[in-house]
Chains A and B, each alone.
Chain A
Amino acid sequence: MSPTARPLDELDRRIINLMQGDFPLAERPFLAFADRLNVSERQLIARIERLLQERTLTRFGPLFNADRMGGVNLLAAMAVPEADYEEIALVVNAQPEVAHNYRREHALNMWFVVAAETPRRAEKACARIETSTGLEVFRFPKEREYFVELRLQA
């Protein structure tokens, strides 16, 4: 959660700004980016590894979209009593279908995305959470997607 202890250097920033997409599907995919960044393939790989260890990056690789597989990304929320918050977060996070979970400041204070290959699996995950926690899961399925494109500038 807290920002990384080591301040980002120029190479870190360039990797983050350049490499949020378009990683090649090629035999040696790091090479083209290494050239653009003026580092060796080995240095680039080592730096990505370090950024992952430091948690500046949460992941490196393909970002899958369950929607396009015929599945769903279901946004859901719960109003969790403060005293039980940590315990309930563990229950929710333990479901493999829960892809993201955020604490938010609102009466509905836990917001998570259930990503599953079929709508039925997403629904079953929500039902399991309701059974284990005794709390209602408010479902907010998307009715229209107007825009999705998250790229952050470092």
Chain B
Amino acid sequence: MSTPHSRPTAATHKLDDVDRRLVRASQGGLPLVPRPYHQLADQLGLPPEEVIGRLRAMLDSGVIRRIGVVPNHYALGYVANGMTVWDVDDARIDALGEAVGRLDCVSHCYRRPRRPPMWPYNLFAMVHGHSREEVETQAEHIAALLGPALRARDILYSSHILKKTGLRLTEPASGER
């Protein structure tokens, strides 16, 4: 477990064209060979040290969140994936959002705009459980934490993964900035 928590104003790491080629070559996954970075280097016509150095710089700046396996929730038995959403008093939301984000059961926690009348909620917290009962129990903990600042709530369960590929850079974006 690593990663700083709240980061509203992170400095950005501008990618150059070589970085972007490297992202495109690795975003679908690393080659499953003993020397994956060497294979990427061969593919890109770069020295392996440069591939590793650039990936390290991206990891250090947070452009890469982490390197590893990405499990499918459902295959691990996390069949109840609830996006819990809350209408929280604007004056209290930042302090409360930090507190909700610190709960062990919450994997992602954000403040987002309301879209009235369809959508009154401004706090989003993802809760993954083995059953809906488990998610609902966790949601009660969140509700208790929000206390009187809470005005409305809902849980949106996902019933189907329609796509899960992660970021895909397409052709170079230079000239668009």
18 residue pairs of the A-B complex, CB under 8 angstroms, read A16-B71, A48-B69, A49-B32, A56-B76, A63-B68, A68-B10, A75-B110, A92-B163, A103-B162, A104-B158, A105-B156, A110-B162, A138-B115, A146-B110, A147-B107, A149-B107, A150-B107, A153-B76
A37 at the interface (CB under 8 A from B): no
Question: Are B58 and A144 touching (Cβ within 8 A)?
Answer: no
* A3, A99, A147, A151: the one within 8 Å of B168 (CB): A99
A96 at the interface (CB under 8 A from B): yes
Highest count of chain B CB atoms <10 Å: which of A42, A60, A104, A148? A148
Q: Which 8 A-B pairs have the closest CB atoms?
A: A147-B101, A146-B101, A21-B66, A103-B160, A101-B162, A61-B30, A144-B111, A101-B163
CA distance A52 to B3 in the complex (A): 26
Chain A interface mostly: mixed
Highest count of chain A CB atoms <10 Å: which of B15, B72, B83, B161? B72
The B-contacting residues of A in range 56-103, CB under 8 angstroms, are 56-70, 75, 79, 89, 92-93, 96-103
Starting from the known contacts A3-B75, A147-B106, 12 additional A-B residue pairs (CB-CB under 8 Å) come to: A20-B69, A56-B76, A61-B28, A61-B67, A68-B12, A102-B81, A102-B162, A104-B157, A105-B159, A117-B15, A144-B111, A146-B98
B32 proximity list for chain A (CB < 8 A) = 45, 48-49, 52, 60
A-B contact count (CB 8 A): 279
Residue of A nearest to B13 (CB): A68
Question: Are B111 and A20 touching (Cβ within 8 A)?
Answer: no
CA distance A16 to B124 in the complex (A): 26
With A28-B34, A58-B164, A146-B97 in contact, is A154–B71 under 8 Å at CB?
Answer: yes
A150 proximity list for chain B (CB < 8 A) = 107-108, 126, 128
With A56-B76, A140-B115, A149-B107 in contact, is A117–B67 under 8 Å at CB?
Answer: no
B34 proximity list for chain A (CB < 8 A) = 28, 30, 41-42, 45
The B-contacting residues of A in range 35-49, CB under 8 angstroms, are 41-42, 45, 48-49
What sequence of 0s and 1s flags, for each residue 2-14 of chain B, a beta carbon within 8 Å of any chain A beta carbon?
1101111010111
* B61, B70, B107: the one within 8 Å of A58 (CB): B70
Interface residues on B, range: 35 or more
The A-contacting residues of B in range 54-68, CB under 8 angstroms, are 55-56, 58-59, 61-68
Interface residues on A, range: 35 or more
Question: Are B69 and A15 touching (Cβ within 8 A)?
Answer: yes
CA distance A62 to B56 in the complex (A): 11
* B48, B56, B67, B108: the one within 8 Å of A147 (CB): B108
Question: Are B167 and A99 touching (Cβ within 8 A)?
Answer: yes
A143 at the interface (CB under 8 A from B): yes
Residue of A nearest to B19 (CB): A69
CA distance A108 to B115 in the complex (A): 12
Question: Are A148 and B177 touching (Cβ within 8 A)?
Answer: no
Question: Are B94 and A104 touching (Cβ within 8 A)?
Answer: no
B152 proximity list for chain A (CB < 8 A) = none
The B-contacting residues of A in range 127-149, CB under 8 angstroms, are 138, 140-149
